[in-house]
């Protein structure tokens, strides 16, 4: 076991803390292997009744996967290593979603990409009122993976698509409205709340005690402004054609400053990534079972990580940081939908 995760046992509760705070706990292969091993061990340990995920450091629970590592692997001709990482990561996502014991996540700060893949599939999901959630993959030529479509399938189309297409960062209230968290925890309660989760896990009826913690937060999550904005413009997201969606959004944004900001974000995003989100949303609506979603994610990951857009997007956002990616193709109308459809169909 490496030192990129910390584990501890408190009574019948096993706690796993991501421990790479200098990188906001960005997930690399070593971390995923360790998480997989610990979850496997604890599932078979009759003395463990609850597993809890947390993240070390003030900046956040997890900023997602280490895409710089992934980019380097692909550019250096080691794409199969990237494939292996995605296969491992998605197997952990499935393990969490189908875990035989209660699993809780207590998140704070940045909860993005692969961080949502860990925390979002937990049975009980608590987050700090100041947390920031995002699936920002359209900014780097990738897509909303880690099985997140199985979570977003439960929310209205306009909310899911605006979240995925824009890659915008939303707060805790919107995370709850997007089915990415169950309860927002007040800042002054947050430190002690971890102890309350442990107490609930050590209760004779852990499920009931944890559900009670979730219920305490009902009605106290604040206004989900992002989702309410999406609802106001739900008609913009009705078309199945991505170009039509963007066209409607551009038109509606002329009379809405808030929507104009979202449209500006979308217009900077990778056209191919946006088509992936529209088409994969349709697939998830038809079949949102976690195994099916993750199988599609894996096929899409193999496709998207090898496209020039991925290397270019990571370069623009995280390497050179010039925020000026050159997408191929540049226009949504020129995207090859057929290769995406083939990947989705398998």
- DSSP code per residue over 173-203: HHHHHTTS-SEEE-HHHHHHHHHHHHHHHTS
pLDDT score, position 279: 98
E-only strand ranges, 11-107: 13-18, 50-55, 60-62, 103-107
Q: How many residues does the chain have?
A: 346
Distances (CA, A) of 137 to 131, 191, 247, 293, 341: 19, 31, 21, 17, 19
Lowest mean pLDDT among 220-224, 299-303, 324-328: 220-224
Chain segment 249-261, per-residue pLDDT in tens:
999 999 999 999 9
Map out the domains of the chain with their CATH numbers.
5-134+179-216 (3.90.226.10), 225-345 (no CATH)
The C-alpha angle 163, 159, 144, rounded to 5 degrees, equals 35
Alpha carbons 130 and 170: distance in angstroms, whole number: 10
pLDDT score, position 218: 77
* Torsion 162-165-170-174 (CA) sign: positive
| pLDDT for 1 beyond 60 | no
Both structure tokens of 199: 């107490």
Mean pLDDT of the chain: 96
pLDDT score, position 221: 73
Whether the bond between 329 and the residue before it is cis, its omega within 30 degrees of 0, is yes
| pLDDT for 35 beyond 90 | yes
Mean pLDDT of 163-178: 98
Taking alpha carbons only, the member of 44, 63, 48 closest to residue 16 is 48
Both structure tokens of 227: 């989702």
Mean pLDDT of 162-182: 98
Chain segment 36-74, per-residue pLDDT in tens:
999 999 999 999 999 999 999 999 999 999 999 999 999
Alpha carbons 315 and 300: distance in angstroms, whole number: 20
């Amino acid at each position: 076991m490496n030192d990129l995760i910390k584990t501890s046992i408190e009574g019948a509760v096993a706690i796993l803390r991501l421990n790479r705070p200098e990188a906001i706990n960005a997930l690399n292969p070593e971390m995923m292997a360790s998480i997989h091993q610990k979850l496997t061990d604890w599932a078979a340990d009759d003395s463990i009744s609850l597993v809890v995920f947390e993240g070390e450091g003030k900046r956040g629970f997890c900023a997602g996967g280490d895409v710089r590592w992934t980019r380097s692997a692909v550019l250096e001709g080691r794409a199969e290593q990237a494939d292996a990482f995605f296969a491992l990561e998605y197997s952990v996502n499935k393990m969490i979603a189908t875990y035989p014991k209660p699993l809780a996540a207590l998140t704070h700060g940045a909860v993005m990409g692969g961080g949502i893949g860990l925390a979002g599939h937990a049975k009980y999901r608590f987050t700090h009122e100041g947390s920031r959630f995002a699936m920002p993959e359209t900014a780097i030529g990738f897509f909303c993976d880690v099985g997140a479509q199985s979570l977003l399938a439960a929310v209205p189309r306009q909310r899911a698509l605006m979240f995925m297409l824009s890659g915008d960062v939303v707060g805790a209230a919107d995370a709850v409205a997007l089915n990415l968290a169950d309860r927002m925890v007040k800042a002054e309660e947050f430190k002690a709340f971890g102890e309350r989760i442990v107490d609930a896990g050590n209760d004779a009826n852990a499920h009931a005690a944890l559900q009670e913690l979730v219920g305490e937060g009902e009605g106290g999550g604040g206004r989900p402004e992002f989702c309410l904005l999406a609802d106001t413009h739900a008609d913009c997201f009705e078309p199945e054609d991505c170009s039509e969606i963007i066209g409607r959004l551009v038109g509606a944004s002329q009379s809405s400053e808030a929507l104009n900001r979202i449209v500006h974000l979308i217009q900077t995003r990778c056209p191919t990534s946006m088509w992936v989100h529209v088409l994969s949303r349709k697939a998830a609506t038809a079949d949102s079972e976690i195994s099916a979603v993750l199988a599609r994610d894996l096929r899409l990951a193999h496709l998207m990580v090898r496209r020039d857009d991925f290397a270019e997007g990571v370069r623009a956002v995280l390497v050179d940081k010039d925020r000026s990616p050159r997408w191929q193709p540049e226009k949504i109308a020129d995207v090859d939908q057929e290769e995406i459809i083939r990947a989705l169909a398998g």
